[in-house]
Structures are given as structure tokens and as C-alpha cells.
Chain A
Amino acid sequence: MKTNDVIIQFTAKLVFFMIFFYAVHIFFAGHYTPGGGFVGGLVTASAIVLLIVAFDLKTVQTILPINYIYMVASGLILALGTAAISMFAGKPFFTHYFDYYNLPILGKTSLHTAALFDLGVYLVVVGVTMTIIQTIGEDE
């Protein structure tokens, strides 16, 4: 049965970018305001779910050719690597470092290694959620 889904597909194309940039904002604002890697990952996954619901699994797999299981693995490696980076300097496990840098456009910015750990959490959450939804949606 062919149905015409013009309005929902056009809306999904627009709203996907709004939700995705909101997720990026939540991810980077997590140090000083509510948010962080977990909520950012869930909002990103809900943006991809909106695309999957508006289109279908094959189209979304074509425009976002990501293997989400590898995404979970790389997130775990990133989180554990960030935690282990202080062991090479003789400090305890999970010691974080931060310093202030003068970036070209942003000006004085504090860069913290906890953001890298949060990026690992983000990748794991997106990968696990999308793996669950794809696996449930694929079977006939």
C-alpha cells in the first residue's frame, strides 16, 4: 500500500536538525547547567527515531551508514581511555585534568577531560538505544 507522507517527511527533515543541535547544546552545557552525556545521547537517538518513523529503516541506513555496535565499542574505549590517561602520569585512576586555553573564536575556554568521558557516555547511549530500536523494528 503506497501512502503519501509528504507533510510528515518534510517536517521530519526540518525538525531532525533542530533536535540534533539541541542535543549537542545539552551535551556541551552539561558541566554548568542540567544536561550531559546521557540526556544528549537520548535526545540524539530520538532524532534518529523520528527519521526512522517518518521514512523507513533502509533509507535511514543509507543516509546514516553507522554500525551502532561499533559506536558502543568506541564509546567504551573512549571512556576507559580517558579514565586511564592519568595512570601514565603516575596519578590514580580517573584523575581528571583541566586548564584554560585561548581558542581562536571562542576566547578563553576551560577544556576539561571530563568532556571526553562524557563523549564516551554519549556514544554508548546513542549506540545502545539505536541497536535496541533497530533490532526490534527489523523482525517481521
Chain B
Amino acid sequence: MTYFLWAAIVIVVLSIVALVYRLVKGPTPSDRVVALDTIGVSLICLVGLFSMLIDTSYFLEIILLLAILSFIGTIAFSKFIEKGDIITRDNSR
């Protein structure tokens, strides 16, 4: 079981390395935003595998927290790319 978990962790870390390459190299800001969102998902996978590895359930709240923060961050970035500002005062105007 431990070897299986380590193999899964190595695979996820390799995918994060590939995503960091896209984050550094990405030609447009949209590529970088999608890479950051996917790095967040990979971090969620990593926290789940790590909490299985050290046999605790205290890290499970971090998973939902990372999902929420990644979602809000991606929405804020995409609104900034689309409209130029994140928080508008009055939309109907």
C-alpha cells in the first residue's frame, strides 16, 4: 500500500512539474490561469494522498478549503482578464 501511495505521489508531482512548465512558458495569461487552477487540483490530490500516507483525517478540511480558494481565485483572474477589474461598483450602469 505504501509503495502504491508513493508511486501515485510521484506521478502527481511530475504532473505539477509539467504544469509549472506551462505556467512559466505559457504565451497568454489564459494559459497561466488554467495552469494555476490545475496546480490547485493537483495539490488537492497531493494532500489526500499524503493524509492517507501518514494515516490521519485532520487534513481533510484543507482539501475543501483549497478547492474553494482555487475556485474563487480562478474566477477573480478570469474576470480580470475579461473586464479589466475584479470588483465593479454597479453592474447595471
Q: Which residues of A contact B (CB under 8 A)?
A: 1, 3, 8, 15, 19, 22, 26, 33-35, 39, 43, 46, 49-50, 52-59, 133, 136-138, 140
Contact = CB atoms under 8 A, between A and B. Distances in A.
Nearest to B75: A53
B61 A26 contact: yes
Interface in B62-89: 64-65, 68-69, 71-72, 75-76, 79, 82-83, 86-89
Contacts, number: 53
Question: How big is chain B's contact interface, by range?
Answer: 10 to 19
A52 B91 CA distance: 11
B90 interface: yes
A53 B76 contact: yes
A56 B58 contact: no
21 contacts: A1-B83, A3-B83, A8-B75, A19-B68, A22-B68, A33-B58, A39-B65, A46-B69, A49-B72, A53-B79, A53-B86, A56-B87, A56-B89, A56-B90, A57-B87, A57-B88, A57-B90, A58-B91, A59-B91, A137-B86, A137-B87
Nearest to B91: A56
Interface of B: 58, 61, 64-65, 68-69, 71-72, 75-76, 79, 82-83, 86-91
Contacts of A52: 87
Nearest to B76: A53
Interface residues of A, dominant DSSP? helix
Contacts of B89: 56-58, 137-138, 140
Nearest 3 pairs of A and B residues by beta carbon: A137-B87, A56-B91, A56-B88
Contacts of B83: 1, 3
B76 A55 contact: no
Given A43-B68, A46-B69, A35 B61 contact: yes
Contact of A53 (B61, B64, B68, B72): B72
